[in-house]
Amino acid sequence: MSILIETLKGKKTKTPIWLMRQAGRHLPEYIKIRQKYKDLMEMFLDPEVVTKISLQPVRRYGLDACIVFSDILMIPYASGCDVSFKEGVGPQVKFKEKFNFESHKLNPVIKGIENIKEASEVPLIGFVGGPWTTLLYCLFDKEERSQMNKGLIHKNEKRINNHIEDLTDIISNYAVQQVNAGIDAFQIFESAAQDLEDEYFDRWCLKPTQKIIHSIKSKTDIPIIGFPRKTSKEGYVKYSNIDKLDCISLDYDFDLDHINKLNPNVAFQGNLNPTALLAENNILQEELDKILIAFKDRAHIFNLGHGVLPNTSIKKVEELVNTIRAK
């Protein structure tokens, strides 16, 4: 069993390492492929491209996990929405007020997963966006998402309630598709968890996540990681206690002094600030030491508290990996 899977199952091992957004923007081999396409969606729907890009950082850095090169907006795409990822514009979703999920539209992703499993023995992580985060892209434009507040959420409460349950079922379906294709672990990215408080957090984050996890666990005991990015301290406590969650991923703003308040039965993942990879060597080392000391007696996967930044140097990532390997 790999050290990643052992750690996800709660065993204290030599610290495994992988990085969110490890495939992509900072890698010259990725950029070379990306330049051939006008829209990222074309890449996400090409199994050969998915395979190549997913494996690039694993082969370059010798990381302990591979994560499928894909996006959380594959769900809206397969549900009848117009989705695009144009250079300099970012993700755009045109929602038609109804989700008509056609699972066959995601066959290229599933084929990519199967190809990766054939090409590498490194554990493969599949993923979805949490229902709240995914729905956010469907219901709100870029400006609204950047200024999300209680008033805007309250104004759209009925609309959100009308869609969140159907979307949760669709996401659960897609998660099981990935499991059946052979993934070894699974991560739920609730990247917009910070926008929800109290009852809304319970209703639109915790409850749907619980349903997705139970759907997966009814098929297999594959380990599941949850990432409620930038939620409150109380939110992290609640999230860590979701039934059958195996690991909680911490963002870089999470105060490590509060680890003891989280569920002690889950493994931890995180939580280096990606900007530390742009800093001087001594600053990076100080940040690494803080994290490694905090988790020295806990099952811990080293990762970032968000994704690798585009201007991160290869040398810095190599330095990071080598430092973790030496511990």
What's domain 3-326's architecture?
Alpha-Beta Barrel (3.20)
Tokens (6 digits) for 66: 């591979």
Consecutive H or E run containing 166: helix 157-181
210, 190, 58: which is closest to 132 by C-alpha?
190
Termini Cα distance of the chain: 20
Give the span between the Cα atoms of 188 and 224, in whole angstroms: 8
38, 129, 134, 133: which is closest to 81 by C-alpha?
134
Percent of the chain residues past pLDDT 90, beyond the cut: 93
Q: Could you report the per-residue pLDDT of 162-214, keeping only the tens digit for each?
A: 999 999 999 999 999 999 999 999 999 999 999 999 999 999 999 999 999 99
Write the CA distances from 84 to 69, 87, 129, 276, integer angstroms. Answer: 16, 10, 17, 31
Q: Could you report the per-residue pLDDT of 56-110, keeping only the tens digit for each?
A: 999 999 999 999 999 999 999 999 999 998 777 789 999 988 999 999 999 999 9
Q: Does residue 102 come out as left (phi exceeding 0), alpha (psi in the -120 to 50 range) or beta?
A: beta
Q: Is 35 exposed, middle or buried (0-12, 13-18, 19+ CB in 10 A)?
A: exposed
Phi first, then psi: give them for residue 313, nearest 5 degrees.
Answer: -85, 150
Task: Find out whether 250 and 232 touch, Cβ atoms under 8 Å.
Answer: no
Domain range summary for the chain, segments of one domain joined by +: 3-326
